[in-house]
Amino acid sequence: MEIKISLNEYADIPFIKKLLLQIKGVTGIEISENDKTYSWEEIENSEFFAKVMEQSENDYKSGKTQELTDDLLNEIFGKK
């Protein structure tokens, strides 16, 4: 379950985080400054995504690839 709280630019973020973490059942606090969350469909249909995919395909065709290790992938995706 999530609760969304909107704060103004002068809010004491560290204090609010400490305060909320004192409440039973609160397992974590995530701060976001972005007002918009994009769906996967919006990302997939964006012009920027199409350009990134085209560049990736061109890199692959020209042999510009890099093999990633499990350690690096775990670091990128936050696994331990």
Return averaged pLDDT per consecutive 10 residues of the chain, 80 residues in all.
81 85 85 70 84 87 80 75
* Measured CA angle at 13 (ends 25, 75), to 5 deg: 70
Q: What's the token pair of residue 63?
A: 């042999």
For residue 13, the surrounding DSSP H or E stretch is: helix 13-21
Residues in the chain: 80
Check residue 43 and give its pLDDT.
80
Could you tell me which of 64, 44, 45, 68 has the C-alpha nearest to residue 55? 64
Check residue 47 and give its pLDDT.
87
Query: What pTM does this model have?
Result: 0.38
State the Cα–Cα distance between residues 29 and 47, nearest whole angstrom: 33
Check residue 34 and give its pLDDT.
66
Check residue 49 and give its pLDDT.
85
